[in-house]
Structure 1
Amino acid sequence: MARHNELGKAGEDFAASYLEHAGYGIIERDWRQGSRDIDIVARTEDGTTVVFVEVKTRSSDAIVRPEDAVDARKIRNLGRAADAYVKERAIWNELRFDLINIVGTAPENFRLEHIIDAFNPLLV
């Protein structure tokens, strides 16, 4: 596995652990529909909201901040993937799209930022 793929996997593991400790229930990880994917599907602690989480991990934010990698095309694809997921699973809960940014080279030095309700694919 390439170094950047290893870093991305470590970031997703770190994000999932963070969410669990924050009271979220992890429903799915790395859910795919064709070429589209959702990094993490979680449920809020009160069970009322399904949260689609995009995780962006970078070794440094000196050149590009992780959240800048989520452009309009990526948001539209996440919306389409979430739509397929909701239809496939017959979900009637409230929906939300969060972004977790992770910067660092290893879990020991990761800095995590959780942006709740980061975007709405219907507005892109």
Structure 2
Amino acid sequence: MAAKDELGRRGEDIAVRYLQDKGLVVLDRNWRCRDGEIDVVATERTRESSRLVVCEIKTRSGTRYGEPTEAVTGLKAHRIRQVTRAWLAAHRVGWCEIRFDVVAVLMRPGREVTLQHVEGAF
């Protein structure tokens, strides 16, 4: 496995544990279709409601080329929404509330891992 792929997998594992610790239930990881991939699909339940949470995980080893959250451009957000429609259809989910989040994991060599969770990022 390439170093970049290994970094991404480790970051995604950290992000998933974080989301689960927040009470989200992970339904799918790395779901793919012809239009692309969703990193994490989860559900979040509160007293008032429940919602589907689609998370884009961005892991970086530094900020030389910007913060990890900056990698989620308008085009990337559009593609994630398209793939989410395909996920909903494939799982026969009718209308539901959906929130799109970004979880940024920064894994700098020799430093503590940091995580930023942007709820409703797009």
Give the TM-score, by structure 1 length.
0.88
Matches within 5 A, 1:1-124: 1-46=1-46, 48-91=50-93, 92-105=95-108, 109-119=112-122
Please list the CA deviations of residues 73-100 of structure 1 after superposition, one character each: whole Å capped at 9, or x if unmatched. Answer: 2111101000111122122321110000
Q: Which runs of 5+ in 1 are unaligned?
A: 120-124
Residue in structure 2 matched with residue 122 of structure 1 by the alignment: none
Q: Secondary structure at the match of 2:77?
A: helix
1:14 aligned partner, one-letter code: I
Is the deviation greater in 96-105 or in 85-94?
85-94
2:97 aligned partner, one-letter code: E
**Distance (whole Å) between structure 1 residues aligned to residue 31 and residue 2 of structure 2:** 21
Measure how far apart 1:61 and its partner are.
1.5
**Distance (whole Å) between structure 2 residues aligned to residue 63 and residue 11 of structure 1:** 18
4+ residue stretches of structure 1 with deviation over 4 A?
none
Q: What RMSD over aligned residues (CA atoms) do the two structures have, in Å? A: 1.6
Measure how far apart 1:63 and its partner are.
2.8
User: Percent same amino acid among aligned pairs?
Assistant: 33
Give the TM-score, by structure 2 length.
0.90
Q: Which runs of 5+ in 2 are unaligned?
A: none
**Aligned residues of 2:30 and 2:39 also touching (Cα < 8 A):** yes
How many residues align? The count is 118
Larger helix share, 1 or 2: 1
Measure how far apart 1:72 and its partner are.
1.7
